Amino acid sequence: SAVISQKPSRDICQRGTSLTIQCQVDSQVTMMFWYRQQPGQSLTLIATANQGSEATYESGFVIDKFPISRPNLTFSTLTVSNMSPEDSSIYLCSVNSGPSYEQYFGPGTRLTVT
């Protein structure tokens, strides 16, 4: 399985500001995924990021609000822009790894917007 780290692990931000979350994987992977887990809720996919191409966003998520970079096969960033309290969530990155392409998750970034 892949080992995934995220930075920061948590942050408290003021409304109107932006936060960039980093995701680092210990092996090269083709696809990386960004999910959001709102308080007490399940996980919702924000976008899929392939190296060398634009990220693919799910319905309800737009690039201006959640720009994603994928500069190489082991790293990605998600920016939460112009934050509001509704953006308070845990943001998780994940990758496919293993013989059956199981999906493994990073530890998450807990974001609180005040």
Partner 1 sequence: GNSVTQMEGPVTLSEEAFLTINCTYTATGYPSLFWYVQYPGEGLQLLLKATKADDKGSNKGFEATYRKETTSFHLEKGSVQVSDSAVYFCALSEAAGNKLTFGGGTRVLVKP
End-to-end CA distance of the chain: 36
Give the nearest distance from C-beta 15 to partner 1 in angstroms: 27
Q: Which of 65, 79, 104, 112 lies at the binding interface for partner 1 (CB under 8 A)?
A: 104
| Contact set for partner 1, span 10-69 (CB under 8 A) | 30-31, 33, 41-45, 48
Helix, strand, coil: what percent of the chain each, to 5? Answer: 5, 55, 45
Give the nearest distance from C-beta 12 to partner 1 in angstroms: 18
Nearer CB in complex with partner 1: 75/104: 104
CA 20, 92, 7, 12 torsion-angle sign: positive
Closest CA to 79 of 71, 91, 97: 91
Distance CA 2, CA 94 (A): 9
Q: Which of 55, 106, 111, 113 lies at the binding interface for partner 1 (CB under 8 A)?
A: 106
Give the nearest distance from C-beta 14 to partner 1 in angstroms: 25
Give the nearest distance from C-beta 20 to partner 1 in angstroms: 20
Closest CA to 101 of 22, 52, 33: 33
Residues forming contacts to partner 1 in the complex (CB under 8 A) are 1, 30-31, 33, 41-45, 48, 92, 94, 96, 100-108
